A and B are shown apart, each in its own frame.
Chain A
Amino acid sequence: MNEIFGIPAQALLGQLLLGLVNGSFYAILSLGLAVIFGLLNIVNFAHGALYMMGAYVAWLGLELFGLNYWWALLLAPLIIGLFGVLIERALLRWLYKLDHLYGLLLTFGVALVIEGTYRYFFGVSGQPYPVPDLLAGATDIGFMVLPNYRAWVVVASLAVCLATWLMIERTRLGATLRAATENPKLVQAFGINVPLLVTVTYGFGVALAAFAGVLAAPIIQVNPLMGSNLIIVVFAVVVIGGMGSILGSIFTGLALGVIEGLTKVFYPEASATVVFVIMALVLLVRPAGLFGREK
């Protein structure tokens, strides 16, 4: 059998694929953050909590109403997206005139409140969510046995990322959005309702987080702390990719998932820190991130 650095090539391929699965989560979460930061200039620290809320919509839907996975995948982003709209209308819009730091503090506080509330009602051990029947089981793809659901995660999140990118880069709505990012006053002067655009964008970013939450539910235990375990890494991904860069966040998310996966094979003890080491290095060389532009 071929070996690469003492690891059988087969095993390495398997680990690469797993890294890609984790990278898909990073990509979709950091994409939401990038969209929000791009237009609102808000560092949305509540993203992890909203991701967790998405997973809980799926779990509650199943427990209380027998709602299946596919409906949850559709409804959770809508419900949590609306909740995001509420946050933006009621809280965030008062802060746009102020420094970034205030938005960060507010969303951080919102995250703590949401997590505390869920912890109060659901405890911390978490609730199990079954893999949908259609995707149950695993397929032997030669070098490893891949659970069908993990394959679906990669496909679904890549599709959503691609659709988001196309919408922002190739449609009229996206063009307006990008214009509003550059110069909100001028865009408003053309008769476009910028505050509405801002609200919808925040709702959309939040919906992406909820979508990722539903995707994650069958893989990890649905748990009030699932967001805070992940969000710090996702922020590192956004910083490495460049704050506000759409394509950057997708690409960096996937790449870091793979790098982290490889670290788990060669030096597992470092797998929790490797992302931050890379972040530090990138910031030294390119302070605006790999795909970011200096302002």
Chain B
Amino acid sequence: MKKTYLAAAALLLASGAALAQSKISGDVVKIGVLTDMSGLYSDIGGQGSVVAAQLAVEDFGGKVKGKKIEVVAADHQNKADVASSKVREWIDREGVDMVTDALNSAVALATAKVIAEKKKVLIDTGAASTRLTNEECTPYTIHHTYDTYALANGTGKAVVKQGGDTWFFLTADYAFGHSLEKDTSDVVKAAGGKVLGSVRHPLNASDFSSFLLQAQASKAKIIGLANAGGDTINSIKAANEFGLTKHQTLAGLLVFITDVHSLGLQATQGMYVTEGWYWDLNDDTRKWAKRFYEKTKKMPSSNHAGVYSAVTMYLKAVNATAADDGDSVMNWLRKNPETDMFGKNMVLRSDGRLIHDMYLFQVKKPSESKGPWDYYNLRHTIPGDQAFQPLSASRCPLVKGK
């Protein structure tokens, strides 16, 4: 008789444990950092994003609700097909619960589709395209760090306000470049400026002098660089070489701190930059950047900080709901604004856009900088409700009344 009681009690305990387990799949919370490990964006994401995710896990003590947290990483090679098959494999075979970074807009859009199909969570920190929160929005995508609208809005408005009312665009000839050019043109025109023309250059063009001469001939006050990474770097370099910067001003529309670091202040001084985060904003950012620097010997980009924040908010949701499935996590995140070292009271909108302040910086003169990585002067904090595309303009079908 006593034995039966014991057995029954053991069975009850076991089933109770099984019930508690069932809400965290596979007894482990797995975070997938999907990034460019070796190509032109690997300084913005790459190994740094993995470190950022690990720092977030470290802050949770490596465990959430008694379950282990694991970080896995993969190189998407900037190819949408590689990304979507990797994510599928991660979810089906390795039990990954959440994907982050996913820089490069094409990769992000492909990943978002798989994630929505599998009802997991994508917190995208690296991609720029506003399509993620418009035509291609899903209930499982969060667009975290920045987007082309916010960049155009930040830099475009500020430059026109400073008197830069005639523009010529140097545009990377693919979806991202076109949309950045269009968004910025709209902002410039709305602010009373004029767009005099544009030239489309191929991705990874090694020489920009020819395109810059065309920009010079346009006599526009501002040359808007609607490109990214190495293309932006080489455009700025050639513009300095050909003396364009004496009479015209460059406006880098997607510039990361790693680009400024690579070019040096001599070539970039005075340029306006819009970013969602900078390491030298306040004590919290400085403290976190120091931890990051100790591991990587580089200062973090805004994308790295975004990955940290993305993993943190996801783990908070898992901790609060004791579940790691997409629906529970997303529901919790929609109701609970996130505060961490990236930003305060960041609200998740129904189209998937995470609303937070954006910052307009101006690159320091060499004489103002105290040393490597001391590059930005904060010119203006753009409050979250003005920084991003208004919800009323969203083309996302998930938004009520659409």
Contact = CB atoms under 8 A, between A and B. Distances in A.
Contacts of B213: 11, 14-15, 18, 144
Interface in A244-289: 261, 264-265, 268-269, 271-273
Given A18-B210, A125-B43, A116 B202 contact: no
Contact of A264 (B211, B261, B262): B211
A220 B210 contact: no
Given A119-B38, A221-B233, A268-B211, A11 B217 contact: yes
A223 B237 CA distance: 13
A131 B241 contact: yes
B240 to A, nearest CB: 10
Contacts of B264: 128
Contacts of B58: none
Using C-beta atoms within 8 Å of the partner chain, give the interface range for chain A.
35 or more
A229 B204 contact: yes
Interface string A113-145: 000100100011111100100000010000011
Contacts, number: 106
Nearest to B213: A14
**Looking at A22, A128, A261, which has the most chain B CB atoms within 10 Å of its CB?**
A128
A273 B200 CA distance: 14
Interface in A181-200: none
B206 interface: yes
Interface in A217-250: 219-221, 223, 225-226, 229-230
Interface in B120-173: 173
Contact of A268 (B200, B229, B234, B243): B200
Contacts of A109: none
B98 to A, nearest CB: 27
Nearest to B36: A124
B206 A229 contact: yes
Contacts of A265: 210, 214
Interface string B217-251: 10000000000011001100110011100000000
Nearest to B244: A145
B230 A225 contact: yes
A271 B230 contact: no
B258 interface: yes
Contacts of B201: 264, 268, 271
A223 B230 contact: yes
Contact of A128 (B173, B202, B205, B263): B263
B192 interface: no
Contact of A147 (B38, B200, B241): B241
A37 interface: no
B241 A22 contact: no
B210 A145 contact: no
A150 B33 CA distance: 43
A269 B173 contact: yes
B214 A125 contact: no
Contacts of A21: 207, 209
A230 B211 CA distance: 18
A106 B209 CA distance: 35
B242 A147 contact: yes
A221 B230 contact: yes
A272 to B, nearest CB: 3
A273 B43 CA distance: 28
Contacts of B183: none
A230 B209 contact: no
Contact of A219 (B38, B241, B267): B241
A249 to B, nearest CB: 19
A221 B205 contact: no
Nearest to A119: B38
Given A128-B267, A220-B234, 18 more contacts: A11-B213, A11-B214, A18-B209, A21-B209, A116-B38, A125-B258, A126-B230, A126-B262, A127-B262, A138-B242, A149-B241, A219-B238, A221-B237, A229-B206, A264-B210, A268-B201, A269-B200, A273-B202
12 contacts: A18-B207, A123-B42, A138-B242, A147-B241, A147-B242, A150-B209, A150-B241, A225-B39, A226-B206, A230-B206, A268-B211, A269-B200
